Amino acid sequence: MSKPINVAILGATGAVGQELLELLESRNFPLGKLKLLASPRSAGSEIIFKGEKLVVEVVSEEAFQDVDIVLASAGGSTSKQWAPIAVKAGAVVIDNSSAFRMIPEVPLIVPEINPEAAKNHHGIIANPNCTTILMGVAIWPLHQIQPIKRIVVSTYQSASGAGARAMEEVKVQSQAILNNQIPQAEILPYPLAFNLFPHNSPLTDNSYCEEEMKMVNETRKIFNAPDLLVTPTCVRVPVLRAHSEAVNLEFEKPFDVQKARDIISKAPGVELVEDWQKNYFPMPIDATGKDDVLVGRIRQDISNPNGLELWLCGDQIRKGAALNAVQIAELLIDN
């Protein structure tokens, strides 16, 4: 039996922080002491965990003393400030922001894909971007059988990707529209209710946005395939929670569709959802709250004999963030 692990959650009051708490309880994580850390604005608030009231503390250097693992979900600037301090205090930081993902010596881990990378950290482990995680879990089993040559992916990203306040904003906007009022946007740049728009992350020099380039660079790093061709288009859609992705895969030679279904149906972290008679395939409403990535509508690409098409949905807050981080922590304990 594992010894109790002292854990600190940095960003405990956010949507991902709340999910981390639920997972630590439901997965019977070998938890010793638990510290809830946040900014001064949230400090002093109380959160119920396992029937007990825990008070949220202000993050400080002293807060990381006697902590084994820090689960960080407070944004890139916060992670850059506090992760090195936590490591110096003796903790391992599993960071959910993009701050450390592309640093060569920092492992970028999806446990279903590259769990061995957890053995080679220097105090910080990066949790990948949500869209990268969901796609990776779904297509890695196929890549192991027959290496993927090119990925064309379009994402349909819910409000949850921008946090709890964005989710609430979509609700308010929806009500405004139904009341024949003009919806107001504060968290996202444009109204998302009854609307959609290309992902609002900054555009880069190559005309792809930062969210899209995360999928390119992170997939290559996780798959250990620096030459893998990846072209994404990321879109915000008026869904509260759970992202969807349409994925086109090109291989060097044909990949039998039934073989692909069989492989995905047995893959860890994946649930095959296909009812061709009813035209029923994964939907965000079905993926919400689930650990597994739902995959379906696997079919031959009629424009390319070496291509496969598939559709997936996954909970951005759960497997796309909190669950993946907790699974990494479990890897550390196993190691």
Catalytic positions, written as ranges: 130, 243
**DSSP secondary structure string for all residues of 54-113:** EEPEEP-SGGGTT-SEEEE-S-HHHHHHHHHHHHHTTPEEEE-SSSSTT-TTS-B--TTT
Distance CA 113, CA 144 (A): 10
Please give the helix or strand (H or E) that residue 285 lies within, else none.
Answer: helix 284-287
CA-CA distance, 31 to 42, in Å (whole number)?
23
CB atoms within 10 A of CB 206: 9
In 3-state terms, the chain is what percent helix, strand and coil (to 5)? Answer: 35, 25, 40
Phi, psi of 190 (to 5 degrees): -135, 155
Burial 280-302 (b: 16+ CB within 10 A, else e): ebbbbebbbebbbbbbbbbbbbe
Residue 184: C-alpha distances to residues 78, 167, 171, 248 (Å): 28, 14, 11, 36
